[in-house]
Amino acid sequence: MEQATIARSYASALFELAERNNDYESYARSLAGVVALLDTDRRTRDFLRSPKIEVETKKRVVQSAFAGRVPPLFLNFLMVVLDKRRQGLLRDMAREYDQLMDDRLGRVNVQVTLARPPDARELADISAKLTRLTARSVIPHVQVEPAILGGIIVRWGDRLLDGSLRRRLVSLRGRLLDASLPAQQHPSTTRG
């Protein structure tokens, strides 16, 4: 089975657990916390991924570290992940889980590129306009790129809206270069 499909299956199973408990956010935070730990602590990552360490040893350590800090069903989920030796897919599982949660809650993550950092009011206006445009609650992820000169570029899914000043100037330049100028008549040719 392809890695993405496996990660999606595990994320779906975790999402069902969260749904039964009406607790999407807590499970998302728990999964994100585990992924952050693996990203930042090389020793933990090496410990969990090492084929030389018995699964039961890994499970005891994880149980001890996370008991009382994460929902019990989430901890059970981690035990299954360890049993099946899928801990290398936790980051992918987290991404898939977040997508499932966003879909359920009617949210969409949108990449917004601006020429300068927006203030809180501008960001709220952008978010409101994009929410109307997408008919979903928008979570903007702002990237600052001075090269666009002004305006905004919005990406979500496979869609791109380029309202940058740079694109408009390039388009205007192209139209000006392609435009044919009317032939000028000399005053001597118009007299009869």
CATH code for 3-103?
Answer: 1.10.520.20
Interstrand relation of 137-144 and 151-156 (parallel, antiparallel or unpaired) = unpaired
CATH of domain 107-177: 3.40.30
- Kindly tell me if the per-residue pLDDT of 186 is higher than 80: no
Q: What is the pLDDT of residue 168?
A: 76
Please report, for residues 3, 70, 95, 128, 161, the alpha-carbon distance to residue 32 in angstroms, rounded to integers and kept in the order given. 19, 11, 9, 27, 30
How far apart CA 112 and CA 75 sit, in angstroms, is: 36
What pLDDT does residue 188 have? 61
Of residues 186, 183, 191, 113, the one with CA closest to residue 148: 113
pLDDT band (50, 70, 90) for residue 122: very high
Taking residues 45-73, report their average pLDDT.
94
What is the average pLDDT value for the chain, to the nearest integer? Answer: 90
Residue pLDDT, tens place only, 138-180? 999 999 999 888 888 999 888 888 888 777 787 777 777 887 7
Strand partners, 164: 151
Judge whether 21 and 73 are in contact, CB under 8 Å.
yes
* Distance separating alpha carbons of residues 49 and 46, to the nearest angstrom: 5
Q: Where in the chain are all domains bearing CATH 3.40.30? A: 107-177
Q: What is the per-residue pLDDT for 1?
A: 61
What is this structure's pTM?
0.71
Around 78, how many Cα atoms within 13 Å sit in the side-chain half-sphere? 27
Q: Where in the chain is CATH 1.10.520.20? A: 3-103
- Tell me the per-residue pLDDT of 3-41, one tens digit each, with 9 for 90 and over: 989 999 999 999 999 999 999 999 999 999 999 999 999
Tokens 């927006």 correspond to what residue? 118
- 107-114 vs 159-164, strand pairing mode: unpaired
Tokens representing residue 71 in the block: 């929902």
Sequence-distant (≥ 6) Cβ neighbours of residue 48 within 8 angstroms: 38, 58, 62, 82, 87
